[in-house]
């Protein structure tokens, strides 16, 4: 019998100059930009500030730099 793990979903996100904050159902995870991706580490504060959380909570999109990241791996690896 295989156990299913629950996917990590974001309820909301917050953008700071130093990091991305992913708020899940159980905690808030602060992820430094350099741990998010090279593209986000090099992006301007304006480009980072335009993040869009998908309605499902599975992903985050930055339209100004065409970057997409899945919430689960981001929280597991960055937080």
Q: Model pTM?
A: 0.89
pLDDT higher than threshold 80 for residue 78: no
Going from the N-terminus, what domains does the chain have, and what CATH number goes with each? Answer: 12-78 (3.30.2020.40)
| Rounded distance between C-alpha atoms, residue 56 and residue 47, angstroms | 22
> How are beta strands 19-23 and 12-15 bridged, if at all?
antiparallel
- pLDDT (0 to 100) of residue 4: 62
> Can you tell me the mean pLDDT for 4-11?
84
pLDDT band (50, 70, 90) for residue 79: low
What is the C-alpha separation between 39 and 6, in angstroms, rounded? 28
Residues 6+ apart with CB under 8 A from 32: 18, 19, 78
């Amino acid at each position: 019998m295989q156990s299913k793990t629950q996917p990590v979903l974001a309820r909301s996100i917050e953008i700071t100059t130093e990091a991305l904050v992913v708020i899940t159902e159980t905690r808030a995870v602060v992820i430094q930009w350099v741990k998010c991706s090279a593209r986000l580490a090099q992006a301007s504060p304006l480009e980072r500030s335009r993040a869009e959380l998908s309605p499902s909570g599975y992903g985050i999109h930055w339209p100004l730099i065409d970057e997409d990241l899945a919430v689960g791996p981001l929280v597991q690896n960055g937080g």
